[in-house]
Structure 1
Amino acid sequence: MRHGGFGPPPYGRYRGRPGAGPLQGHGFAHYGRPVGPRVPTVLALLPLILIMAAPPLLFMGWATSGMIFPLLIFVSIAATGHRRRRMAAAQVPRVAARPVPPRAPQPPPWQVAKKRFDALRTHYAAYECDPMAVLRLPALCDVTVPSTARFVDAFAEAQALETDAPPPPEHARSFIAAVERADRAWRAAIDAAERIRLSNLTPEERGSVERIIKLLTTARDSDSEAERLAAYAKARSELSRLDRAGVIHLPKTAVAALDAESRGQLSA
């Protein structure tokens, strides 16, 4: 059956080379012929409507040629611009979405807890081996301070549950919980020591601690060998006096570090 009228041929019939199917995408009709984006029907027919309506309007005096022709030009320009914008938009290439990289596998909870406890042990050891840190925050090594006592107990519990290899599930859960408690207790002990600092000492005791800190700073930074040796000797004397009075007890690791620094200066 032949197709009549002005519309496109029926669906299923395609123009072009034999065997061609429907072309996909913007700018192609179903029968194989590329076409541009269509302008809205009213906007496309508006110039023709104005041309047909111009003589009656001019004859009846409802409009003048100075009104009709500028309006006709404006409508023609608008229709052309709209068509160009639609065609430009249809030619913009689509950007392919980047594939999302796969997530790295998460380590087991026991392994995470072990690394967390190793970091906590490193921070704790660094504090106990630094005489200056102990003098600035003496409450952090004083087990008579409640927050410090809680941390020491929590740290010992986690250390007792620590293993080199992954333990059974029940043991692993106990270790994970103990590490969580120890970490929270460490942070709480630091906060308390920061608030306390030297406030528990008398003015005379605070003055002694501040002098020791200045002496140790001089011993570490001075370029004079004699000045460094004198500063270390005075600092050790003051520390021994405070330790005998029960004011500040330096951990054995801090005392060993101080002796090692002093011997290093002597050997240098």
Structure 2
Amino acid sequence: MCAISNQPAHHIPFMYAFSDRPWRTAGIVNELAARLFAGAHIGQGFPGDEDNGEMSAWWLWAALGLYPLELASGVLRIGSPLFDDIRVDRADGSSLRIRSHRSEPAAHVLQSARLDGVDLDRAELPIAALAGDADLELIFVTDPSDALETGEHAPAAHSTWCRDLTAERADVIAAASVVDARRLFDDGEHGGSSGVVLAAGEWAGCRFAEPRAVSDLTVTMVAAAPSSRLQWEVIDEDGNWTAAPTTHDAELAADRTTPFELAAPVVTPAIRVRAEAGVTIRQIEVFDLR
């Protein structure tokens, strides 16, 4: 339950996902909250598919000026609340109060944040600090140079995207009895929608134009099966097929891409998967993620 003051709802939080300077995206969220969540007069209070409550949850986080940017990190990123005085009443009788003070109505640059009178040095609220009654006081200004975070704490760069090795120069190889094995590597083209059937003992894979390092792979099944039905193999230095075990086993759900890491990265001219029992596979991808 939220008790919210009657202050004008002109201030909304920002999203940190694409910027190391949070105030840059404040206007984007402001526009989204105002344009997409004000649908009473057109018969649509929430945009998109609301069956599972995703849009309601987003709006509630926006109203609070908080956001769980990194799940299980133990912190909430602090944005700019929709309202200047909010109280969240919990079932155990405790409450969280969030009060915002602004140099002017449009101010959304967070200058300082205090939790129960103690200054925070980051625009982050530790979840553990919310146990029991808590009072969060926020000061907003308009000048980015006065921001609590000015960009020196920029999020770490994401890993470089790695291309599927089977999409490069590689030839599809398979046991003679396997029908249309190329569909395992067609990147989801319509012609591969029914998958490839491998009976017990049958195999399919790809041969690279030159030896390639392989560390990870994914498999997408048409029908669910345990990963123990699949045996991954590579060509060793002597030109023989040898087992390439993965670090773990997993249940392979239908129509879900499941990643695996090889127990030890290998350099090989070819890789294949051999069926220990009948399976139907939709897609195989191979990567070097070292």
Q: TM-score range by the shorter chain?
A: under 0.3
Pick the structure with more strand per residue.
2
Q: What TM-score, normalized to structure 1?
A: 0.17
